[in-house]
Protein backbone atom coordinates (compact mmCIF):
# COMPACT_ATOMS: atom_id res chain seq x y z
CA UNK A 1 0.00 0.00 0.00
CA UNK A 2 1.50 3.36 -1.00
CA UNK A 3 2.29 5.84 1.74
CA UNK A 4 0.27 8.97 0.98
CA UNK A 5 0.95 12.47 2.24
CA UNK A 6 -2.61 13.69 2.69
CA UNK A 7 -1.86 17.41 2.93
CA UNK A 8 0.28 17.50 -0.21
CA UNK A 9 -2.18 15.26 -2.08
CA UNK A 10 -5.17 17.43 -1.07
CA UNK A 11 -3.38 20.62 -2.04
CA UNK A 12 -2.39 19.22 -5.43
CA UNK A 13 -5.93 17.97 -6.10
CA UNK A 14 -7.44 21.33 -5.08
CA UNK A 15 -5.02 23.11 -7.41
CA UNK A 16 -5.96 20.80 -10.29
CA UNK A 17 -9.69 21.26 -9.58
CA UNK A 18 -9.23 25.04 -9.57
CA UNK A 19 -7.42 24.85 -12.90
CA UNK A 20 -10.10 22.56 -14.39
CA UNK A 21 -13.03 24.68 -13.20
CA UNK A 22 -11.73 28.24 -13.33
CA UNK A 23 -9.08 28.32 -16.04
CA UNK A 24 -9.47 25.42 -18.46
CA UNK A 25 -13.03 26.28 -19.62
CA UNK A 26 -11.85 29.72 -20.72
CA UNK A 27 -8.75 28.73 -22.65
CA UNK A 28 -10.59 26.96 -25.47
CA UNK A 29 -8.20 24.06 -26.02
CA UNK A 30 -6.94 20.89 -24.40
CA UNK A 31 -3.58 19.28 -23.84
CA UNK A 32 -1.73 17.77 -26.79
CA UNK A 33 -2.00 14.23 -25.39
CA UNK A 34 -5.80 14.40 -25.27
CA UNK A 35 -5.91 16.13 -28.68
CA UNK A 36 -3.85 13.38 -30.30
CA UNK A 37 -4.95 10.26 -28.45
CA UNK A 38 -8.35 11.19 -27.01
CA UNK A 39 -9.19 10.11 -23.51
CA UNK A 40 -8.44 12.05 -20.39
CA UNK A 41 -6.52 15.30 -20.31
CA UNK A 42 -3.24 15.60 -18.46
CA UNK A 43 -4.94 17.37 -15.56
CA UNK A 44 -7.47 14.53 -15.24
CA UNK A 45 -4.72 11.90 -15.57
CA UNK A 46 -2.55 13.56 -12.93
CA UNK A 47 -5.52 13.90 -10.55
CA UNK A 48 -6.28 10.19 -11.02
CA UNK A 49 -2.65 9.25 -10.34
CA UNK A 50 -2.62 11.37 -7.18
CA UNK A 51 -5.85 9.78 -5.94
CA UNK A 52 -4.55 6.26 -6.65
CA UNK A 53 -0.88 6.55 -5.68
CA UNK A 54 -0.38 9.86 -3.95
CA UNK A 55 1.62 12.81 -5.24
CA UNK A 56 4.99 11.66 -4.05
CA UNK A 57 4.62 7.98 -4.93
CA UNK A 58 3.02 8.79 -8.30
CA UNK A 59 5.63 11.28 -9.44
CA UNK A 60 7.17 8.79 -11.90
CA UNK A 61 3.79 8.20 -13.57
CA UNK A 62 3.08 11.94 -13.55
CA UNK A 63 6.44 12.67 -15.18
CA UNK A 64 5.81 9.94 -17.78
CA UNK A 65 2.47 11.55 -18.65
CA UNK A 66 4.16 14.92 -19.14
CA UNK A 67 6.75 13.30 -21.40
CA UNK A 68 3.96 11.63 -23.39
CA UNK A 69 2.15 14.96 -23.70
CA UNK A 70 5.31 16.60 -25.01
CA UNK A 71 5.74 13.76 -27.54
CA UNK A 72 2.11 14.24 -28.63
CA UNK A 73 2.77 17.96 -29.04
CA UNK A 74 5.81 17.22 -31.19
CA UNK A 75 3.83 14.72 -33.30
CA UNK A 76 0.99 17.19 -33.86
CA UNK A 77 3.37 19.98 -34.69
CA UNK A 78 5.45 17.95 -37.15
CA UNK A 79 2.52 16.35 -38.94
CA UNK A 80 3.89 12.95 -37.95
CA UNK A 81 1.99 9.83 -38.97
CA UNK A 82 1.14 9.57 -35.28
CA UNK A 83 -1.07 12.59 -35.83
CA UNK A 84 -3.07 10.96 -38.65
CA UNK A 85 -6.74 11.10 -37.93
CA UNK A 86 -6.49 14.59 -36.49
CA UNK A 87 -7.65 15.87 -39.88
CA UNK A 88 -4.84 18.37 -40.05
CA UNK A 89 -6.52 20.34 -37.32
CA UNK A 90 -4.73 23.19 -35.73
CA UNK A 91 -3.98 22.50 -32.12
CA UNK A 92 -3.00 25.05 -29.55
CA UNK A 93 -2.72 24.71 -25.85
CA UNK A 94 -0.42 24.47 -22.90
CA UNK A 95 2.00 21.60 -23.02
CA UNK A 96 2.42 19.60 -19.86
CA UNK A 97 6.16 19.17 -20.06
CA UNK A 98 7.34 20.45 -16.73
CA UNK A 99 6.43 22.39 -13.64
CA UNK A 100 5.48 25.48 -15.66
CA UNK A 101 2.95 25.43 -18.49
CA UNK A 102 4.43 26.26 -21.89
CA UNK A 103 1.98 27.68 -24.46
CA UNK A 104 2.12 26.11 -27.92
CA UNK A 105 0.34 26.23 -31.22
CA UNK A 106 0.46 23.48 -33.82
CA UNK A 107 -0.52 23.90 -37.42
pLDDT tens figures, 46-81: 999 999 999 999 999 999 999 999 999 899 888 765
53: left (phi over 0), alpha (psi -120 to 50) or beta: alpha
> Does any domain span residue 33?
yes
Query: How many domains does the chain fold into?
Result: 1
Nearest to 6 by CA among 40, 80, 57: 57
Q: What is the pTM (predicted TM-score) of this model?
A: 0.71
**What is the phi/psi pair of residue 106, to 5°?**
-115, 140
> Does any domain span residue 1?
no
Q: Is the pLDDT of residue 35 over 50?
A: yes
- CA gap 2, 7 in Å, rounded: 15
Give the confidence band of 95 by pLDDT, cuts at 50, 70, 90.
low
Range of the domain at 93: 6-106
14 three-state secondary structure: helix
Amino acid sequence: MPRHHPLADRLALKTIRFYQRALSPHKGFRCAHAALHGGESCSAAVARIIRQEGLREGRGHIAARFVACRAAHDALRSGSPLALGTGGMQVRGVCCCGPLPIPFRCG
